[in-house]
Structure formats: structure tokens, C-alpha cells
Amino acid sequence: MNILIVYAHPSRKSYTFQVLEKLKSVLAIENWNVEISDLYASNFNSDMSEEEYEREGFGRTELPISSDVWSEQEKIERADCIIFLYPVWWSDCPAKLKGWFDRVYSVGYAYGQNETSRKMKTIPLGLVICTAGHPNDFLHEIEIAQSMEKVMLEDRLGKRFENKEMIILGGTLDLENVMEKHFDQMNQIPEKIKAVITQY
């Protein structure tokens, strides 16, 4: 089993980093191959260059793909499950992760027709895990949760994933009262993965 975690948070002092460490420890028990794209630690360039825009905007697939983008696409091709882990900032993921989608989901690979380049494989399972200060009930009440699910699950993951789920770890402003529940949810991640992957 090959698991790719695309992680986006700049601080190792953050609660999101604690969730990452918990997730890593839970997955390690399964002896799966876990690869992590730590976008801040690797200083992933989230800005599209002018040449990349010409490739994307005009469908010029003859233009080269940057080496850092190619590397991320290679990780995708190895993965049976991709987990996106990030904090909710202004109702969405950090710009660093948005830039990952902008650049890594290149034309001819993640979308668009192109006979000359490889096509992104369909991933069996995509899990979106995000930490949020507000409680889940409040995020649903103001419809931010629904908005995030629509963008992440229906657009960014879309048909590129056979199965997909968003897990919002809300209420972190009252961390002492939610951490145990959140970590219990992380303990259940391997079973979620096995329930889907065993079908393939």
C-alpha cells in the first residue's frame, strides 16, 4: 500500500503538525509505504511561471513540465491513497496547497486531452483532513463546510479519485476538549483506507 500525504502548514508548533505526527504513527503500524510532500519544508513554489501559464492557458503541451511538478506527479502515480492535510485559512486551504493544485494538475495530465503525455491515473481513495478553529456545527451552519467540500471533493479531487471524503477537525480554539476525539478519528484512518483499497 502506497500512501501520499500532501501536507501544508509552515509551523512545527501547530496543532496541524501534531495531527500529522499522529497520522504518521498510525500509518506506520500498518507497515505501508508513506511518502510525505511537506510543501512548506520543501519550499514548494506555489506561483505559476509565465511559461507555465502559457502551457496551461493556451494548452501548449509541447512546453516542458518543471522538475518539481514532475516529481509531485510521480508521487501521485505511485499512490493508492492521497491524504491532503492542512489548516482552514479564510474558508480554504493555504495558498501553498492551492498553488500545488495550480501547478501539479497540469494540462494534459490532470485535465484536458493530450495524446502525447501521460494521463493522471485514477486514485482509489482521497482523504481531505483539515483543522479548523470553529466547531463543525458552526461551519455547517454558516455553510463554510459545504463550500469547502464542494471545492475540494467535487472540483480538486473530482473524478480523479474513485472515493473521497473530507474530515474537518473543528473546534481547535477549544483544543483540550476536541483533541482526544480528533486523534480517535486519526486512529480510524487505516480502516477507512483498507475498506476501500481491498476492493481493488
Residue 20 has a pLDDT of: 98
| pLDDT string in tens for the chain (200-residue length) | 999 999 999 999 999 999 999 999 999 999 999 999 999 999 999 999 999 999 999 988 889 999 999 999 999 999 999 999 999 999 999 999 999 999 999 999 999 876 667 899 999 999 999 999 999 999 999 999 999 999 999 999 999 999 999 999 999 999 999 999 999 999 999 999 999 987 55
Query: Residue 71's domain spans which residues?
Result: 2-197
* CATH number of the domain within which 74 lies: 3.40.50.360
Distance separating alpha carbons of residues 4 and 36, to the nearest angstrom: 6
Structurally, how many domains does the chain consist of?
1
| Residue 166 near residue 93 (C-beta atoms within 8 A) | no
Residue 84 has a pLDDT of: 99
Beta strands in 70-160 (DSSP E): 81-87, 123-131
Task: Report pTM.
Answer: 0.96
Backbone angles phi, psi at 118, to 5 degrees: -70, 150
Distance separating alpha carbons of residues 115 and 17, to the nearest angstrom: 40
